[in-house]
Structure 1
């Protein structure tokens, strides 16, 4: 009994000492206390033991009474090379700094030996992030040491405390606001459908199905995170906010890597002086104001694809996020997110969800399958966001993303950052194809590509390719295989060459060819008409308005703030008037007139600050306005006078095996090769190409031999008297050069460059 009492006293004394040095976690209901152990041998994996944050690390960690080994790799695709941070001085002046962030402390990884696992953590001050073990997600954060972010830019590893006391807990034990997401133009309730932004359907990007496999081309979202003044005050310092935002971006990137999309942070905008817009508790109002600010202020100074706004304001009801659907790569590409939890995983999950809406994803339905998860609430696009933090994308999200990338093909996501724009330079396993790599399918646990070795970024034995529209089962598709089918009468199909895994560049029929049964002329792959544009603006039931509307009200171009009326010959090329269809067009603004006989003339209009193309409400360029006449620059012009319209005899140069495309170049039939379609691809001189290379090599070697002999003779004649030299040559390899010397006069040493010595040896 005395022993027991002594034990209890020791226990509580020890706890008191520990409790005095650790911080409490009021945002967590219960947690397990652990001490991660860095595995010493892991520091030598990349020979980087002297780095503060090595490229590769391993930790031993106990979770739910099981021991695991975490394999971590520094996320070198997290930030762009010219990553910038903008804040505002005490006087409100905008201050922007650019940093390469040569060293950062954010990692991705997996659990060794556990197939369905994922890790995203920061090691800035202890270990903080999430660890997914099959269908369970655990969160980890330090209990001892400085708050995360306070030591984010340490220059010494002496203070690196990643092996102290940590809390590990199931994400269900994280206290949070019950939350939902809304995406739409008229409501913030998540269960109401949203009207798509409409920009893609309006031809801001070509809509076509390019491939059935959206992983063929890597996609990268260049992201800017913006925080309001309330969020800044909550965390108290710019450095703390920066560290939190980097951790958030690291989590979002990890969630999207599973679907072949990388999220690269290119900028932070911290409103440290005051809000740059009026931030309302109504997310609809805040979203509209933020997107206007992005268009007016952010886009001109920071190139990016998507902007996510993080606010400390409590949104109305249970909504924590709001986004436009199908908006990626447009001026509406962005969302607003409430930072509703102390743990960054909360707002990271919201951003991943809202960005999903920008990428064309809708909320998961009952038929969606979410990997091995029993509950569909663990899916990223579950309708209730934040109640259960997401772990993966559902089967529905995979299908919707594939369809969005196929049909919309947002061009900005194909702008893969060059090597010098990626933090840390080339690295195998970051899913960016870089110099020296034959393929890059991500990390070992992410890679599902049987053609690529994830460890070496080289093709596996027997593989000819790893990705591309002309790559199938690791082999190049045969010559003439369709890799991009035609989508209409003004489009051209593209065919595999048999030599490349990539599909040839997209091409269209020659501009000016008749289309739509003579009702129009092809222009850049489309057959534009007033009728089709009315449907895009006003819905499928819309029609072109009466001719009288164009005669009375047509405007052809603007000078400053004022419209210029069309001349009588250009009236059909100015403002587009429609009838029927929706009550309001996609721009949500309209004017309407009545002409003498009672016909209605509907005109779609725009607010000057709206993020729509300037000529959206005009008759489309290329629309037929007469025989051999088209609307160009909002004037009715003869096709022959417009440079972009090809000559009638252009295809004659294609030798009856092809036609001219919209660039007046030959687009060859399957099996025939450009530039003039007069050679079959099967007869292309691959061997001749090799022969050319061989001949070039021989000629080069002969030149080198002549140079070598001349240099050698020059060296010999520099020595006197020549008769004392032996005829016999000896070659001695010394480090990086050959030393050539003669016997018996050892003092007459002649050192020749390696190239000359190599030529001498060949002789």
Structure 2
């Protein structure tokens, strides 16, 4: 991939992502724990999420500003159990490219209820489809992460990519990072807003200026996502952490999402919002259990995809007009691929295995 920095005067700087950068990203699981997964990055310490059926463990290096001891032989890390976070999500469906935020119509849904779609003819499944991602880092998030911005982006995308490897999805979907665009200043042309609906509309319109529409262009992306430290709201509800259009993955105008930087678990938010873009609605809206899987309205921390999510993806993938952009393969040599992840090197051991009585 490439990293582009853009200032308020639209000055640009380009640099390639580190060659072989994907080699420090891993996927795995905890031995003897069937309901577990792990997405760990080893670039500059350990960063990632280890997920079990009822909770997540987040691991990351202690920030240098917080270190009081300078003579430590190695960099200390912090591991914490992820508590319940604000996780409400709303869905917006566009008709003919329009955006409707009127709560009275059928095109906006809270995290809790969905329409059914007719099944389309099933196409032969390929060895895997690739979702090409462009990540835009808003000025507030870029300022917070500083020199670690690119490392943070690749780490959270590795976390998102791991969720799309679960067999419950029914398809092999690989995430490929083609570009990171870092906004160093408050770029006047992108109007930030704490309301996620307004921000999504602004961002989708803004990104069209900088996004090549030709799918053969190596800098073209199937989905453009925004990472922001803004405390998002939706119609006054401050529990919102992300927003995207349903079924817009191959739309040149609306395949975009906004994602609040809540730490490493933004990777789970990104996976959830990509699910919406792939045509998935919230689980409870189709009769599936609401509170345990990735497309739960109450949080994106689940390990697996529900049967409802798999069915929705099948419908999207069965329509060439909705999924054709995913069939062009990975851009080897020009992108950071998360499909060559080395699994289970050394493994992850349960607490009982690590500390036997």
1:399 aligns with 2:305: no
What's the RMSD between the two structures over aligned residues?
3.4
For residue 149 of structure 2, give the secondary structure of its aligned residue in structure 1.
helix
Cα distance in 2 between the residues matched to 1:271 and 1:344: 20
Cα distance in 2 between the residues matched to 1:430 and 1:296: 32
Who is 2:47 aligned against?
128
Q: Once the 2 structures are TM-superposed, how far is the Cα of residue 220 of structure 1 from its aligned partner? A: 0.7
Write out aligned runs for 1:165-204 (5 A): 166-169=78-81, 171=82, 173=83, 176-177=85-86, 179-184=88-93, 185-187=99-101, 193-194=106-107
Q: Is the 8 A contact 1:108 1:121 kept in 2?
A: yes
Write out aligned runs for 1:512-523 (5 A): none
Q: Is the 8 A contact 1:307 1:334 kept in 2?
A: yes
For residue 299 of structure 1, give the secondary structure of its aligned residue in structure 2.
coil
1:218 aligns with 2:128: yes
For residue 270 of structure 2, give the secondary structure of its aligned residue in structure 1.
helix
Cα distance in 2 between the residues matched to 1:401 and 1:93: 40
Who is 1:321 aligned against?
242
Q: Is the 8 A contact 2:102 2:108 kept in 1?
A: no
Classify 1:361/1:165 alpha carbon distance in 2 versus 1 (closer, same or farther; 3 Å).
Answer: closer
Who is 1:338 aligned against?
260
Who is 2:179 aligned against?
267
Classify 1:160/1:378 alpha carbon distance in 2 versus 1 (closer, same or farther; 3 Å).
Answer: farther
Q: Once the 2 structures are TM-superposed, how far is the Cα of residue 285 of structure 1 from its aligned partner? A: 2.3
Match of 1:309 among 212, 226, 229: 226
Who is 2:139 aligned against?
229
Cα distance in 1 between the residues matched to 2:315 and 2:62: 47
Provide the TM-score with structure 2 as the length reference: 0.75
Who is 1:471 aligned against?
none
**Cα distance per residue 1:207-231 (max 9 Å; x no partner):** 96243x6x54411100011121222
Cα distance in 2 between the residues matched to 1:269 and 1:279: 16
**Cα distance per residue 1:154-176 (max 9 Å; x no partner):** xxxxx9947x454242x2x26x3
Instruction: Report which of the two structures shows the higher radius of gyration computed on alpha carbons.
Output: 1
Who is 1:71 aligned against?
none
Provide the TM-score with structure 1 as the length reference: 0.37
Q: Where in structure 1 are there 5+ consecutive unaligned residues?
A: 1-82, 149-158, 197-206, 371-375, 432-441, 446-763
Classify 1:160/1:394 alpha carbon distance in 2 versus 1 (closer, same or farther; 3 Å).
Answer: farther
Who is 2:355 aligned against?
none
Q: Is the 8 A contact 1:256 1:262 kept in 2?
A: yes
Who is 2:153 aligned against?
245
Cα distance in 2 between the residues matched to 1:188 and 1:220: 34
Q: Where in structure 2 are there 5+ consecutive unaligned residues?
A: 67-71, 94-98, 110-118, 346-357
Cα distance in 2 between the residues matched to 1:368 and 1:126: 42
Who is 1:85 aligned against?
3
Cα distance in 2 between the residues matched to 1:111 and 1:188: 45
Classify 1:365/1:274 alpha carbon distance in 2 versus 1 (closer, same or farther; 3 Å).
Answer: same
Cα distance in 2 between the residues matched to 1:188 and 1:228: 27
Who is 2:353 aligned against?
none
Q: Once the 2 structures are TM-superposed, how far is the Cα of residue 330 of structure 1 from its aligned partner? A: 1.4
Cα distance in 2 between the residues matched to 1:208 and 1:140: 40
Who is 2:211 aligned against?
298
Q: Is the 8 A contact 2:27 2:344 kept in 1?
A: no
Classify 1:143/1:253 alpha carbon distance in 2 versus 1 (closer, same or farther; 3 Å).
Answer: closer
Kindly tell me the number of residue pairs found equivalent between the two proteins.
310
Cα distance in 2 between the residues matched to 1:139 and 1:123: 16
Match of 1:98 among 6, 16, 24: 16
Q: Is the 8 A contact 2:122 2:318 kept in 1?
A: yes
1:112 aligns with 2:31: yes
**Cα distance per residue 1:326-379 (max 9 Å; x no partner):** 11111111112222x2x221x222221221111111111276557xxxxx4232
Who is 1:411 aligned against?
324
Classify 1:160/1:385 alpha carbon distance in 2 versus 1 (closer, same or farther; 3 Å).
Answer: farther
Higher relative contact order (CA 8 A, sep 6+): 2
Q: Is the 8 A contact 1:182 1:188 kept in 2?
A: no
**Cα distance per residue 1:87-134 (max 9 Å; x no partner):** 12575412122235324532211223444431101223432211123x
